[in-house]
Amino acid sequence: MKRKLLSAALITCVTASSLTIPSYDQAYNVSAATVSAQPTNVAVSAKADQLIQTAKSLIGKATYSTAEYKSTYPYKFSCATFLMYVFEQNGVDLATYNENYMMEQGTPVAKGQWQKGDLLFFRSKTTGTDPDHVAMYIGDNKVIHMADSKQNIVISDLNSKPYYTENYYGARRVIPSLLPSNPATAEDNIVSLAYDLKDTATIGSVNNEATKKFTSTGFVNYVYGKNGTTLNASSLKDLQSKGTTVSRSNLKKGDLVFFNSVKGSTTPSLVAIYAGEQRLIIPNSGGVITRVLLVDYYKDHYITAKRVGSDNKVSTPSTPSTPPATTTSSAEKIVNFASSLTDKAKFGYGYDEKTLTFTGAGFTYYVYKQQGIDLKYKLASQQATVGSSVLKSNLQKGDLLLFSTDNKGSRITQTGIYIGGNQFITLSTSGKVETQSLSSSWASKNYVQARRVITN
């Protein structure tokens, strides 16, 4: 199968002889803690070994190309399509051949703390800020990658040439976060079935389960129906009316995401199943494809998202005779209390509840303390050990955010509280309590990790 790439500019892997650009280390500190539902270390190690074995098996069988992707022998790959293919062959869908988008999946890894299967990124261009080369770590300080048109696929020691140290950009750990949970959740099963249908389902104007022919709505009905959620939608518009609305910043695996064909329209022309980590599974004309939500088209044409999985059975609720009493969650209380300290709390190198003078970490310690949550420490780096690790893509209101302040994300020195809508509140070193966007230049450069410290 041959597939022309959209543009050579989307995949620009540099040669290993480019040595002119100073390194920009975007590595981060990450906690060793993982969420409890992640796959076991044994499963992760086994998957990494599979990836490495597949990558090595392609040595001498593929040639370098930034213009064409060929997934049958003789193979043609760029650095990014090579790894996209290797991961896909082992059941892990990166859903992109763009290094920049790959770097927004999984979790950041500190330089030198790499594990087998991690993606390492490099940048040698003199313009722009995005990585232009990607490789996979295979252990013993070595990576395997599609290097250039002279070397093709090679294994390189990271100390063998100045290129690897001078142009190192950062690393991401995409396993286990791109693997199903253990045990698999209902949402994992929905995503797995949708992926399984990638090579067998045809999307068109008719529905026939026996021949795996579906409309896009029928495809969604089928996938969810096989996993215990009956949607019975007759059209994309009908499908869009199901379940409960969720914000783009709170998407979870198994959510339905809707897009229009005309910017600003509320009429859907496309539906996707959210597969986690910015990935979309899209029943589209002729077949089922995977993409990342990060692509400009999907950003520009996004309408809404709905949660319709097993935890949100689609039904028509009866109207209660008496309105239920409203309660405020712990997360809401924390956010409300933190917001109430705007123009009251001030930054200082100490901790004084009477004058409301705190460091950034002292502020978060105080806010959570008032709601009965003990962060144990008043230092940001120590607060990073409390609670459980949570992916940036799965942030919830009330999560504790950890930042650096050196624009490198190399050391945790500041904290914040996630308030939803891609926003967080923090006591800034500028002196006051501020609400900022996680997409701001400062937050993008300094975000390190997040911890879930609320248990109810």
Domain ranges across the chain: 2-173, 186-307, 330-452
* Rounded distance between C-alpha atoms, residue 135 and residue 337, angstroms: 45
Least confident of 207-221, 310-324, 427-441: 310-324
pLDDT at 325: 38
Q: Average pLDDT in the 41-66 region?
A: 92
pLDDT band at residue 66, thresholds of 50, 70 and 90? Answer: very high
pLDDT at 324: 39
pLDDT at 154: 97
Return the CATH architecture of domain 2-173.
Alpha-Beta Complex (3.90)
Q: Report the topology of domain 186-307.
A: endopeptidase fold (from Nostoc punctiforme) (3.90.1720)
108 within 8 A of 172, measured Cβ to Cβ? yes
Q: Average pLDDT in the 439-455 region?
A: 89
pLDDT band at residue 58, thresholds of 50, 70 and 90? Answer: very high
Whether 376 has a pLDDT exceeding 80, the answer reads yes
Whether 30 has a pLDDT exceeding 90, the answer reads no
pLDDT at 349: 86
Residues 6+ apart with CB under 8 A from 28: 108, 109, 110, 170, 404, 409, 410, 447, 448, 449
Output the CA torsion sign for 237, 242, 244, 246: negative
* Rounded distance between C-alpha atoms, residue 184 and residue 181, angstroms: 5
Whether 275 has a pLDDT exceeding 70, the answer reads yes
Task: State the DSSP string of 284-353.
Answer: ETTEEEEEETTSHHHHHTEEEEEE-STTS----PPPPSSPPPP---HHHHHHHHHHHTTTT-EE-SSEET
* Rounded distance between C-alpha atoms, residue 405 and residue 274, angstroms: 33
448 within 8 A of 30, measured Cβ to Cβ? yes
Residue of 151, 134, 143 lying closest to 62 (CA atoms): 151
pLDDT at 1: 34
* Rounded distance between C-alpha atoms, residue 231 and residue 217, angstroms: 10
How do residues 90-146 score in pLDDT, each as one tens digit? 989 999 999 989 988 888 899 999 999 999 999 987 766 789 999 999 999 999 999
What's the mean per-residue pLDDT of the chain? 84
Domains 2-173 and 330-452 belong to one CATH topology: yes
Whether 448 has a pLDDT exceeding 50, the answer reads yes
Question: Can you state the angle between helices 79-89 and 41-57, rounded to 10 degrees?
Answer: 130
How do residues 337-367 score in pLDDT, each as one tens digit? 998 898 889 999 889 999 999 999 999 999 9
pLDDT at 44: 85
Apex CA 39: angle with CA 38 and CA 44, to 5°?
125
* Rounded distance between C-alpha atoms, residue 452 and residue 456, angstroms: 11
Q: Report the topology of domain 330-452.
A: endopeptidase fold (from Nostoc punctiforme) (3.90.1720)
Whether 6 has a pLDDT exceeding 70, the answer reads no
